[in-house]
């Protein structure tokens, strides 16, 4: 697989985690802490924002093993495989 394809896998897994993870409900419940006060609270926008926060956190957390592998001298394809694998692992763990 090409690095671009593996990155798309990581992005897709992160977005799916944002939509299906129980952490999304927690972030949704904490909306007064992160939602801007100048915008009228709309439930759909709050859920969308919570989903994006969890998806971004998943993408960042799954990049940690990839960064370590890159630091140890792994190839670009191996590094992206670690990143995609970490994102898929977080997706599977988050769905349970």
Each domain of the chain, given as residue ranges in start order, spans 3-32+42-95
Residue 95 has pLDDT above 80, yes or no: no
- Say what the pLDDT of residue 65 is: 93
Rg (the chain; Cα; Å): 15
Count the alpha carbons within 13 Å of 76 in the hemisphere toward its beta carbon.
6
Residues of the chain above pLDDT 70, percent = 99
Q: Does residue 60 have a pLDDT over 90?
A: yes
Q: Is the pLDDT of residue 14 over 60?
A: yes
């Amino acid at each position: 697989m090409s690095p671009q394809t593996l990155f798309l896998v990581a992005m897709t897994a992160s977005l799916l985690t944002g939509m299906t993870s129980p952490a999304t409900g927690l972030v949704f419940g904490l909306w007064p802490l992160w939602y801007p006060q100048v915008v009228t609270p709309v439930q759909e926008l709050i859920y969308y924002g919570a989903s994006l926060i969890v998806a971004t956190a998943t993408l960042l957390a799954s990049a940690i093993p990839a960064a370590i592998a890159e630091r140890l001298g792994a190839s670009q394809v191996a590094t992206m495989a670690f990143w995609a694998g970490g994102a898929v692992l977080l997706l599977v763990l988050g769905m349970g």
